[in-house]
Structure 1
Amino acid sequence: MSTVPTTYMVHARTTGEAAEVVAADATIGIDARWGAEPAGLPGPAELLASAFSACLLKNLERSRAMLSFSYDHADVRVVARRQDAPPKFVEISYELTIATDESARRVELVHRNLQKYGTVYNTLAAVCDVHGEVIAVPVARRGD
């Protein structure tokens, strides 16, 4: 069975002073300046790490729908390491914390699914070391 690849499009622009990316219906200010103090906006490396984070969270939602995996909320921290010569990312590490009452076995199943079915995850894993952990914490009950 052959499927047509899904296409994603963004539009980016700069004035030399300010830059932005338009993706879907969102406009995201970005730091595209060279040799200047940080502008407080995400640059290309942070956007890549953000895409990786979004991939994990989107596939966590996929697990909720397909595996009936129950969770209250999740938080992910990503560290992307790059080298200068040649310029490339060498490592992406992550820590995904999920507030859930699911069993350790189900949490591990979800982690394997995140690794197996994440498009951004697999793309980056093909070119650099990608590793991380999923930490389950009990759901805090209201009034506790």
Structure 2
Amino acid sequence: MNYSVNASISAIKDAEIHIKDSEIIFGISPDTEASLPNPAELFLGSLSACILKNVARFSVMMKFEYTKAELTINAVRLDKPPRMDEIQYELLIYSQDESLNIDLLQKNIEKFGTIFNTVKACCSVTGTVKKIVD
């Protein structure tokens, strides 16, 4: 599979990424740091999307139902060299389905996620998956 995105920047203002029919605006200056995502947050957003997409994918394969999933990701950035060092996630699956195997779901997310595996190859990624009976 091949992927392609286009991005642009206007001199010291905002920047945007164009992916298919979507446009993601991100901040590149101190004026927008409080209101727009920065590149590090977009990176973590990509990891989030990967994990949540796999929740949907594995709910079909593992035959469990859920009403929603919520994910929180926290990361530690090093200064020298500047990079992400430690990433922790907490995934909450809201479900009353007794057939939901949380351990197997986490194993599958961590084994078959494209972005997850890419990130895991260069920094520590740890997390928990919890079932919330709703």
TM-score scaled to structure 2, two decimals?
A: 0.92
- Is the Cα–Cα contact under 8 Å of residues 100 and 138 in structure 1 kept in the other structure? yes
Cα pair 1:45 1:80 within 8 Å, conserved = no
State the match for 1:80 in structure 2.
75
Q: 2:17 aligns with which of 21, 28, 31?
A: 21
Q: Which runs of 4+ in 1 moved over 3 A?
A: 102-105
Q: Which residue of 2 aligns with 1:142?
A: none
1:39/1:103 CA distance change after superposition, 3 Å:
same
1:103 to partner: Cα distance:
4.1
State the Cα distance separating 1:39 from its structure 2 match.
4.8
Match of 2:49 among 45, 54, 57: 54
Higher Rg of the two aligned structures? 1
Greater mean alpha carbon deviation, residues 89-98 or residues 102-111: 102-111
Task: List alignment gaps of at least 5 residues for structure 1.
Answer: 1-5, 140-144
The unaligned stretches of length 5 or more in structure 2 are none
**Paired residue total:** 132
- 114, 122, 133: which one pairs with 1:119? 114
Structure 1 residue aligned with 2:104: 109
**Equivalent runs, 1:79-98 vs 2, <5 Å:** 79-98=74-93
d(CA) in 2 for partners of 1:82, 1:104: 38
Write the distance in 2 (CA, Å) between the matches of 1:104 and 1:125: 29
Q: Give the alignment's Cα RMSD to 1 decimal.
A: 1.5
Identity %: 36
Q: Distance in 2 between matches of 1:69 and 1:100?
A: 8
SS of 1:101's equivalent?
coil
Distance 2:9 2:97 in 1: 46
Distance 2:100 2:9 in 1: 48
